[in-house]
Amino acid sequence: MKKLSSIILVITAFVCNFCFAQKVFTENDIQIIPKPASLKISEGVFEFSGNTKLVITDKSQKESVTAFVSKFGKAVGLKLQITAKAPKSNYVQFVVNTSFENEAYELKASKNNVIITAKSSAGFMYALETLRQLLPVAIESKTVIANTAWIIPAIEIKDKPRFEQRGLMLDLSRHFFGKEYILKTIDRLAMHKMNVLRLHMVDDQGWRMEIKKYPKLTEVGAWRVDQEDKAWNARAVNDPNQKGTYGGFLTQKELKEIVAYAAIKNVEIIPEIEMPAHVSAAIAAYPFLSCVEKPIAVPSGGVWPITDIFCAGKESTFEFLENVIDEVIAVFPSKYIHIGGDEATKDHWKTCPYCQKRIQAEGLKDVNELQSYFVKRIEKYINSKGKKMIGWDEILEGGLAPEATVMSWRGTKGGIEAAEQKHDVIMTPESHCYFNFYQGPQNDEPTAFNAFLPLHTVYEFDPIADAMSPEVAKHILGGHANLWAEFINTDALSEYMLFPRLAAFSETLWSTKESRNWDDFSSRLGALFQRYDYLGINYAKSAYLIVASSKVDIASKKVSISLQNEFPKPDIRYVLGDQEITQNAVKYQDAIQIDKTTVIKASLFKDNQPIGKTFTDTITFHKASGSAIQFKTPFNENYKGDGDLSLVNIIRGTKNFHDGQWQAWLNSDMEAVIDLGIKQDIQHVILGSLESQGSGIYFPTAVTVYVSDDGINYKETAKTERAFAPNINTELKDFKVNFDTKKTRFVKVIASNLGKAPSGGGTWLFVDEIVVN
Ligand code: ACM
Ligand code: ZN
């Protein structure tokens, strides 16, 4: 890693106390993320020592400076003194300039001193976050690091954000995350100069905020029957009388602590209280809130379509919501309350006498206008308390509430439409902002929502489209990333999905459009990863993974494998056979041609060292490769693999079952007959399969092999069976059927479909290859 090595060289060089002044920093040594608006390096350095004084001139500087002293003390072992008056030299001075914008700052470092100028505590905090990234990465250490020169270059940085809204949403409902993790996340947001944390505290699978007037919201609504051993979308409907044991909630005291801590870090906590749908947990607690008033349980997993909905006809619903909002406002000083509004199936409203009466009385056209009535009425209440309402882009349907800020998630279209209607907009399109999607090849990643958002795509995010007029663009407040937690059940996994994508995201919102450059960003990432290591952040190294794509010429039985990585000009090296990856591995240039069974291993290299996980694939040529294959029941139209010969094409499928290598059968067995052309000795059949129970895909319960000389009379040869077992993950499995050597021309393979899903619904059987050898 070019830039990283130069930093390491710098640090080793400065162990010598006399030679540091000779170091000439260049822009490549400055690895700050997000990139500052402007920076200019001069000759020389400022060195921190035990005598360095921190000169504060205003109370707006106190909190951040104290935090810096503590951090410095831990890593350096020196207690910096805070004073009110500048000495002659060797000091960092904090100066208020009221003409600055709120979050802007300037940092000027010379041999003698560092002068930090800002208007507010936010600006001083961000200046110190920048100072932290100018210092060696070891500043992140929680124990003293010896033999380090604590120097920064002489530099002038002028910095401010491009967008005012730079946010992240944590979903506390689908899985519960407690106060400690939220506080840690606030620190990390501040480190990335992000300034909003939205807490998604209400959804079907759990109500997470204590509401004193309605205690059952947390006594009942915060707990669900524990089905954590099953895939999210394969969980059974619960009995309302069964007590829930999985869950949790935040008390108002805890939430106030979170809000107070966030304020120090310039992070606004926006509460997210979903309505009128995504509220099964609330209805489980108080069935009177629904149209049908039927007792329901808090669901333990996926619910689709979302038909549980607050009744829009009964006054008691609005009384409840106003009381809840009163308590929310008392805890959260944020200017905004997010009321959701997404994905409401309004079937209950169509038949509910109260809802129908409301439609009549208000002269509404349909249930869409009833949702609009609902949202407008809530907005009026929120506005009456001096707050603003945010809703998902569905709130455009049936007429937008007059003051609403729209959060555009189904692409940017809704956001653009709202901005054209002069509404404020926060962009959060799934395509760039949904951090619950996979960030690397699925075979190497923890099970996630089945969509793809790699680091470089996050980096391409821009809340403002080129086509927007300045009039429209001025309503775009910024962007938020969303971490939906259906598949995220631990703090470590949450960190994995957030980092480093949050770093890329922060730069899209903070840095100038002109300064954004993927090559440059990726070269700064290595230093950030070292900081993450010190901080104990479980970040993903997915961007280092190799992405392989294979092609086959089945007539000549030649496989061609291309290797890629998302970084620019990647140094990829590979080996074939049973060798290990070392720096002597072959440098990848063009697609690798393979014509016999082999293992291929590949890795990304930096500075002659393999980094990230080694990619491994086995290419198996077999006796059925390219043979004629026929099916008793045709494969499903939506899963045709790469054509008729897909199951004998040598190329294997991945955990991404849309990768074009899978053939599938719905509610039926797969029965295939392969004609080997001539009689051959065979000893086993391997059937490659995939399971993703949340998507209704199940491993076969049995694979049976038959042989025949004439293609008419078949004899059962062997069978491999496997009983159903709940499986939370997406998994690949080869079913191997061994037998004594048989000389045969025709091979029939039957894979038995599970037939009946434990949680209801159809059962898919997926096959990627039938290996005959
Ligand atoms: C959403 O993802 N339903 C806002
Ligand atoms: Zn109703």
Contact 519, 456 (CB under 8 A): no
Answer yes or no: do 96 and 152 share one domain.
yes
Q: Ligand 1 atom 3: the closest Cα is on which residue?
A: 342
| Residue 591 burial by Cβ neighbours in a 10 Å radius (0-12, 13-18, 19+) | middle
> Which ligand number lies closest to the CA of residue 344?
1
Residues 6 or more apart in contact with residue 347 via CB below 8 angstroms: 307
The ligand 1 atom at the shortest distance from the C-alpha of residue 484 is: 2
118 plus 252 within the same structural domain: no
Asked whether 343 lines ligand 1 (CB < 6 A), one says yes
Count of positions (residues) in the chain: 773
Same domain (yes/no): 196, 55: no
Question: 559 and 641 share a domain?
Answer: no
Tell me which of 542, 557, 581 is where a domain ends.
542
Indicate which CATH number applies to the domain containing 384: 3.20.20.80
| DSSP H/E element including 268 | strand 268-275
The finding on whether 257 has its CB within 6 A of some atom of ligand 1 is: no
Q: What is the pLDDT of residues 148-165, one digit of tens each?
A: 999 999 999 999 999 999
Residue 290 alpha carbon to ligand 2 centre in Å: 6
Q: Which residues contact 671 (CB under 8 A, 6 or more apart)?
A: 631, 632, 633, 748, 749, 750
Q: Residue 670 is which amino acid?
A: M
Indicate which CATH number applies to the domain containing 112. Answer: 3.30.379.10
Q: How far is the CA of 287 from the centre of ligand 2 (A)?
A: 12
Domain hosting residue 641, numbered range: 628-772
- 434 Cβ below 6 A of ligand 1: no
CA distances from 506 to 102, 189, 461, 480, 502 (A): 18, 9, 10, 10, 6
Structure tokens at 62: 């106190």
Cβ burial 176-193 (10 Å sphere, 16+ → b, else e):
bbeeebbebbbebbbbbb
From 198, 272, 343, 480, mutation site for ligand 1 pocket: most ligand atoms within 8 A of C-beta: 343
pLDDT digits (tens, 9 = 90+) for 694-745: 999 999 999 999 999 999 999 999 999 999 999 999 999 999 999 999 999 9
385 and 492 housed in the same domain? yes
Ligand with an atom nearest the CA of residue 428? 1
Residues annotated as part of the active site: 203, 278, 343
Q: Which two tokens stand for residue 557?
A: 């039985």
Q: Identify the CATH number of the domain in which residue 568 sits.
A: 2.60.40
Residues 450 and 511 in one domain: yes
**Is pLDDT of 450 > 90?**
yes
pLDDT tens digits, 2-38: 333 333 333 333 444 444 445 789 988 999 999 999 9
Do 122 and 185 belong together in one domain? no
CATH assignment of the domain containing 760: 2.60.120.1190
Domain boundary among 619, 636, 671: 619
The percent of residues in the chain predicted with pLDDT above 90, rounded, is 95
| Residue 326 and residue 418 in one domain | yes
- For residue 362, give Cα distances in angstroms to 277, 469, 610: 21, 37, 67
Segment 481-518, tens digit of pLDDT: 999 999 999 999 999 999 999 999 999 999 999 999 99
Same domain, 461 and 404: yes
Q: How many domains does the chain contain in total?
A: 4
Q: Decide: 734 in ligand 1 pocket, CB within 6 A.
A: no
Same domain flag for 217 and 247: yes
Q: Is the pLDDT of residue 417 over 60?
A: yes
- Ligand 1 atom at minimal distance to the Cα of residue 340: 4
Contact criterion met (CB below 8 Å) for 513 and 506: no
| pTM of structure | 0.94
| Same domain (yes/no): 566, 531 | no
Q: How many CA atoms lie within 13 A of 753 on its CB side?
A: 19
Nearest atom of ligand 1 to the alpha carbon of 434: 2
Distance 759 CA to ligand 2 centre (A): 29
Ligand nearest to the CA of 484: 1
Residue 435: CB within 6 Å of ligand 1?
no
What are the tokens at 332? 């959260």
| Beta bridge partner(s), residue 390 | 338, 405
List the one residue out of 419, 382, 375 whose CA is nearest residue 401: 375
Separation CA 448–CA 438 (nearest Å): 6
Distance between CA atoms of 671 and 714, rounded to whole angstroms?
A: 13
Is any atom of ligand 1 closer than 6 Å to the C-beta of 567? Answer: no
Q: Would you say the CB of residue 342 lies under 6 angstroms from ligand 1?
A: yes
Cα 292 to middle of ligand 2, angstroms: 7
Residues 691 and 644 in one domain: yes
Q: In 169-288, which ranges are continuous DSSP H helix?
A: 179-191, 216-219, 252-264, 280-285
pLDDT, position 467: 87
User: 100-117, pLDDT tens digit by residue?
Assistant: 999 999 999 999 999 999
The answer, yes or no, to whether any atom of ligand 1 lies below 6 A from the CB of 409, is yes
The domain boundary, picked from 103, 133, 159, lies at 159
